[in-house]
Chain A
Amino acid sequence: MAADFVIEGLKATIEGKEILKGINLQMKGGEIHAIMGPNGTGKSTLASALMGHPKYEVTEGTAVLDGEDLLEMAVDERARAGLFLAMQYPSEIAGVTNSDFLRSAINSRREEGNEISLIRFIRQMEAKMKELEMNPEFLHRYLNEGFSGGEKKRNEILQMMMLDPKIVILDEIDSGLDIDALKIVAEGVNSMRSPERGFLVITHYQRLLNYIKPDFVHVMMQGRIVKSGGPELAERLEAEGYEWVKEELGIEDETVGQEA
């Protein structure tokens, strides 16, 4: 079934400060939405609030995936319901190997007694790592520990590929990637495109969108989506920056905490 994801009136605070001020967004399986916007406008906050990071408190709104409100669920339940967030800054966890971690994640989606066999798991993982041109040694490395910035991003995509989510949020997946790695990661994402799956791609650069072609582009400022359009919007932002959007909307300071 094609995913159907609807965010309505989402407000969120961190340490009592309101960062998200009413986000509305609709996504369907097969669609790619890009979110752009200057630094500090709430893009990562949106991603974290949807995933359920404990520091963020959702004060209003809903985020309904296939009829179920994610915001009512615990973080792990959201993940099992089909949400995946490739994080801007993935954690490092010493002592936990990449393979043990991913196998636990896969098994958390399976019934007890029906765990994935080790051989099948390793085969799958090796195949995906090959697609992402990752050295097989990353299987046995501790999770993200000592990974370079680009290696961490690839590892996020590897997890996405292994976990087969319905809604994927990519938070600056392009930051820290060299040109070749950007292509590889984009190909990984494109290989996962399907009518069942929706993508929300947070980025600062048109470059990524040349590889991952969005259907919709949204601009965030002051904790809201202030403008939406097609791929041409991203191209104009790349060429002209954000000034014209601010002028059009009468915004002086685009960061959150400022009111239009």
Chain B
Amino acid sequence: MTTQTILPVDAERLSELSQGSGEPGWLKDSRLQALALAAELELPKLEKTRIDRWNVNNYGSYKASKPLAALNEAPAAIAALIKDQEEGSLIIQQNSGVVYTRLAPELAAQGVIFTDLQTAAKEHGDLVQRYLHKAVLPGEHSIAALHAALWNGGVFLYVPKNVVIDTPLQAVLLTDDAEAAFVPHILVVADTNSSVTYVDNYVSDKTEAGLHNGAVEVFVGAGATVRYATVHQLGADTTDVTYRRAVVENDGTIEWIVGEMNYGDTASDTKSVLKGNGSSSDAKVIAVGSGSQKLNYTTQAQHFGKHTPSDMITRAVMRESANSIINGITKIEKGATRADGQQTEKVLMLSPKARGDANPILLIDEDDVTAGHAASVGQVNPEQVYYLISRGITRHDAEKLIIYGFLAPVVSQIPLEGLRNQLQSLVERKLGQ
């Protein structure tokens, strides 16, 4: 039996909204088509997770946001994240709309585009239309379709050919009004031989139930490098469903760094499509689950190109009665000779009620490849605790050392110092230390 998707908005209203905000006709049509699809499609099928029982219908409705006159007017909930960012490149989305945009002038001079996606659709329509919804397809399931129908605010980052950017561009996405739809779409296009680092943070500051339905699309051109770092720290009130996809051309590189530090139910899927020969992907996911969170984290690498290495690592700590399903899917298509797909999923459980389930999957249709996986689910080893406390360290500190030690091999590999420190303190907060 199919469950009817509850549409949070009707076609007429959606059409009005699109026109009202001056969107081009192609975008209005794209939204309406996606809405029609949503009515027919089912929820995504997640391994061992009944997402149909989650709070996935709390979209709220579109509400215009008031732009910030200056950065120091930003809500207190995100103050720490935007400290000292006056001179940087930064976008802030608050609820349904972007309220602050700044692109460093030297980047603008090189032709870099960094603006909210709604503006980009008007000002760079051809470029946006060429890529929007081409990596996460609206036809995949009802959540992707509703995302394509309803997305708001968002980020568009375009890096022209041969432009190499050293300082990270940042975005902060805040939901602090439960009635306002929060459906940001991030679109990154890195042209041939360019290089860029993008870092964003998802934050909530409210108590009523809400939903974040997010999609991220990254197009990595030939020889380009994109480092995409994202930290989700949404509160228990917010259910988070996020799809991230990168499509990588010849000799391009995508590097994902994902911090899953939410307090609410979370499903995320981070996938690299290695389309070009010599393209590569590296994904690192750090997660801490607490309370009664239901979590489903997936990393995927799909190899089409020859000589394509991929590596994905997820390390998750589960405390209290958090329940996590962790999937890794390496898919090597026929013809992707010399592909090398590696993955590791590890879960450390801190309480008898915490649950972790690691599912490594290798799907290989080509002979001339290498692939490997490692998965483990376990508890803090009492022998290790004994060893540490036998040196005078208290039990509490010993367990802390072991937990951080579990995450350290991944955290220490994060190339951005600020992000590394931020993740460290978020982990501490989630572990109640």
Contacts and interface: CB of A to CB of B under 8 A. Distances in A.
A181 interface: no
Contacts of B424: none
A100 B401 contact: yes
A90 B390 CA distance: 11
A51 interface: yes
B147 to A, nearest CB: 37
A155 to B, nearest CB: 11
Most A CB atoms within 10 A — which of B395, B401, B407?
A: B401
B84 interface: no
Given A104-B397, A108-B397, A76 B392 contact: yes
Interface string B347-383: 0000000000000000000000000000000000111
Contact of A54 (B382, B394, B398, B401): B382
B409 interface: yes
A79 B409 CA distance: 29
Contacts of A163: 391-392
A246 interface: no
A80 B387 contact: no
B393 interface: yes
The 10 closest A-B pairs by CB, nearest first: A95-B405, A79-B392, A91-B387, A96-B405, A95-B408, A105-B391, A76-B389, A108-B392, A75-B389, A80-B392
A81 B390 CA distance: 11
A209 interface: no
Interface of A: 51-54, 74-76, 78-80, 84-85, 87, 90-91, 93-96, 100-102, 104-105, 108-109, 142, 159, 163
Contacts of B394: 76, 108
B423 to A, nearest CB: 14
20 contacts: A51-B390, A74-B389, A75-B390, A76-B392, A76-B393, A84-B391, A87-B387, A91-B381, A91-B386, A93-B384, A93-B388, A94-B405, A95-B405, A95-B406, A95-B409, A101-B388, A105-B388, A105-B391, A108-B394, A159-B391
Nearest to A92: B384
B290 to A, nearest CB: 20
Contacts of A104: 388, 393, 397, 401
Nearest to B409: A95
B54 interface: no
Given A75-B389, A76-B392, A108-B392, 10 more contacts: A76-B394, A78-B390, A79-B391, A79-B392, A84-B391, A91-B384, A96-B401, A105-B391, A105-B393, A159-B391
Interface of B: 381-384, 386-395, 397-398, 401-402, 404-409
Contact of A90 (B381, B387, B408): B387
B278 to A, nearest CB: 32
B413 to A, nearest CB: 12
A85 B397 CA distance: 20
Contacts of B392: 76, 79-80, 105, 108-109, 163
Contacts of B390: 51-52, 75-76, 78-79, 85, 87
Nearest to B391: A105
A54 to B, nearest CB: 6
Nearest to A105: B391
Contacts of A51: 390
